[in-house]
């Protein structure tokens, strides 16, 4: 595992998804150190003097692929004081500092996996999903929920994996319906399961053959309230604690 490094970056692009959710692309001034899918970085919008203390920062999963050494991508939702500040200050061309890599929430692809993502929690899984190939043999199911279909980030990449990777399955939850979304999904070469409401295990249980296997490890990423309720529910349904892994958001 690489030693964390501090790198000055320029904001190269910001995508506004609505609902105060953003994707930010950063161009680092030196090559990104090696990291593993699922790891996170610290980002500060304050000036940083490398001879001084690291300023206040927040952590974000690294959504870009470890193969990209000249770009970093994060997705964030405005929640509190600091992300509000990010929304107000980050512009294309702004400078920020990041330090990375951190975390042991790593998906190694060695066995069957169910990835459960709420909102921007998808960022912890995107590098892993991007690397799935048609030859992937381990069963991977992504259960992904967002407030609206427009806030299902990385849709193009995820639907492309669904079309190309037979071992990959997709369950989508949206709280608010949007005209045309179900029809669009129904027209795809492989149709994802589209469900209404917040992510819940009830409609997926008892585990249908295309959802998980007896060996699947459950990886959960998203807001604390989601992690807590789904972890409790998985354990109550008899999943051994060793098969439930969470990316502990504060």
Ligand X SMILES: Cc1cc2nc3c(=O)[nH]c(=O)nc-3n(C[C@H](O)[C@H](O)[C@H](O)COP(=O)(O)OP(=O)(O)OC[C@H]3O[C@@H](n4cnc5c(N)ncnc54)[C@H](O)[C@@H]3O)c2cc1C
Residue entry with tokens 């061309």: 93
Residue from 35, 76, 97, 211 in contact with ligand X (CB under 6 A): 76
Per-residue x/- mask for ligand X, residues 206 to 225, rule CB under 6 A? --------------------
Residue from 7, 41, 72, 75 in contact with ligand X (CB under 6 A): 75
Segments in the chain forming alpha helices (H) = 81-89, 123-130, 155-164, 181-186, 224-236
DSSP one-letter string for 7-70 = EEEEEEEEEE-STTEEEEEEEESSPPPP--TT-EEEEE-S---TTS---S-EEEE--S-TT-SS
Q: In angstroms, what is the minimal distance from the CB of 84 to ligand X?
A: 6
Q: Restricting to residues 83-102, name those near ligand X by CB under 6 A.
A: 83
Residues, the chain: 250
Q: Restricting to residues 175-194, name those near ligand X by CB under 6 A.
A: none
Work out whether 250 is an interface residue with ligand X (CB under 6 A).
yes
Work out whether 59 is an interface residue with ligand X (CB under 6 A).
yes
Residue nearest to ligand X (CB): 80
Work out whether 231 is an interface residue with ligand X (CB under 6 A).
no
Query: Which region, judged by CB under 6 A, interacts with ligand X, from 23-31, 68-76, 174-182, 232-240?
Result: 68-76
Spatial CA neighbour of 1 closest among 47, 34, 43, 26 = 34
Work out whether 17 is an interface residue with ligand X (CB under 6 A).
no
β-strands 113-118, 58-61 pairing? unpaired
Answer yes or no: are the C-beta atoms of 171 and 141 closer than 8 Å: yes
Name residues whose C-beta falls within 8 Å of residue 34's C-beta, 6 or more positions apart in sequence: 2, 66, 101
Work out whether 25 is an interface residue with ligand X (CB under 6 A).
no
Work out whether 44 is an interface residue with ligand X (CB under 6 A).
no
Residue ranges that bind ligand X, judged by CB under 6 A: 40, 56, 58-61, 74-77, 79-83, 103, 120, 123, 247-250
């Amino acid at each position: 595992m690489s030693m964390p490094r501090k790198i000055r970056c320029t904001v190269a692009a910001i995508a506004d998804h609505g609902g105060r959710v953003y994707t930010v692309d950063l161009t680092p001034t030196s090559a990104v150190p090696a990291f593993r899918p699922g790891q996170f970085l610290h980002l500060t919008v304050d000036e940083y003097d490398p001879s001084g203390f690291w300023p206040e920062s927040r952590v974000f999963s690294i959504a870009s692929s470890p193969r990209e050494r000249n770009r970093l991508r994060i997705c964030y939702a405005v929640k509190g004081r600091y992300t509000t500040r990010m929304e107000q200050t980050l512009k294309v061309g702004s400078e920020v500092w990041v330090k990375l890599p951190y975390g042991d929430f790593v998906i190694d692809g060695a066995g069957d996996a169910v990835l459960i993502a709420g909102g921007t929690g998808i960022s912890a899984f995107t590098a892993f999903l991007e690397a799935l190939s048609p030859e992937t043999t381990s069963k991977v199911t992504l259960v992904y929920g967002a407030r609206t279909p427009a806030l299902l980030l990385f849709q193009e990449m995820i639907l492309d994996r669904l079309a190309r990777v037979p071992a990959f399955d997709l369950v989508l939850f949206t709280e608010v319906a949007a005209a045309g979304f179900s029809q669009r999904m129904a027209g795809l070469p492989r149709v994802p399961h589209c469900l209404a409401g917040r992510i819940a295990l009830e409609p997926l249980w008892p585990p249908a053959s295309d959802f998980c296997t007896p060996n699947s490890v459950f990886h959960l990423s998203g807001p604390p309230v989601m992690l807590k309720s789904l972890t409790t529910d998985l354990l109550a349904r008899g999943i051994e604690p060793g098969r439930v892994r969470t990316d502990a958001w504060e």
